Structure 1
Amino acid sequence: MLYRIAEPLDWQHAQQTGFFASADLAAEGFIHSSERSQILETARRYYPGRTDLVLLEWDEEVLATACVRVEREWVESRQEHFAHIFNPIPLTAIRRHWAFAPDATGELHLPEEL
């Protein structure tokens, strides 16, 4: 499974259109995605203080079946590979989603189901 910390408007748009796409697809040519172990550091770096986010989980096998290109590319600033997705993601590939907000102390935690 791969994960995406999503803007609420992108998630709402996906539910209306049947496909998830975000500003990074238009700007950079791919949708940023994370492995489970990368989620919290990504949130800390790029979404501090946000309380309105959604965490999406998508199935890489469903993406492959739908001919959605996924490549793991080296990200120098993080010194690790990240999954980049080069097409809009069909809603059928999104297995689960959660509200993703910090607790009362301001700390983010992964959903218990993960």
Structure 2
Amino acid sequence: MRDDLLFHITTKEDWKTFNNSGSFEPESLDSEGFIHCSTGEQVEDTANRIFGDKDEILLLVIDATTLHEDIKYEKDADTGEKFPHLYSPLNTNAIIDKITIKAEDDGHFDIAFTTS
């Protein structure tokens, strides 16, 4: 997997609501001051921990080299793990893919990436 890829998990509804002319500004940008992201190694756990009550999620694949602002890696109080945070709107030209992922029959999201 490319080291310059980051992921933001959202819903189709939130994508439609917060996608504004060239930038994506989810609610967390206003309420917490940043946009939550995950690395490839973190994204499956994040999806299941935060979105476990959803039947479907939308995974935004982000090319971090094209972001208008730098990413800051900060420690999560619950997990102790460092997660990437973006302290500005997400410029939509940095989103290289949008993947709809449906929960498995057991409610678990299976997000597997192969390394190459």
Query: Structures share a fold, TM > 0.5?
Result: yes
1:55 aligns with one of 52, 59, 78: 59
Name 1:26's counterpart in structure 2.
Answer: 30
Cα distance in 2 for partners of 1:28, 1:49 equals 22
Query: Residues 58-73 of structure 1: matches in 2 within 5 Å?
Result: 58-63=62-67, 66=68, 68-73=69-74
SS in 2 for 1:40: helix
Higher helix share: 1
Unaligned runs of 5+ in 2: none
TM-score normalised to structure 2 length: 0.83
Say whether the 8 Å CA contact 1:30–1:84 is kept in structure 2.
Answer: yes
Name 1:90's counterpart in structure 2.
Answer: 91
TM-score normalised to structure 1 length: 0.85
Q: How many angstroms does 1:80 deviate by?
A: 1.2
Question: Is the counterpart of residue 6 in structure 1 residue 40 in structure 2?
Answer: no
Let me know the Cα RMSD of the aligned residues: 2.0
Unaligned runs of 5+ in 1: none
Say whether the 8 Å CA contact 1:56–1:98 is kept in structure 2.
Answer: yes
Deviations 1:37-70 (A, max 9, x none): 111111221111312320011011001xx3x131
Deviations 1:20-39 (A, max 9, x none): 11111000100000001111
**How many residues are paired up?**
111
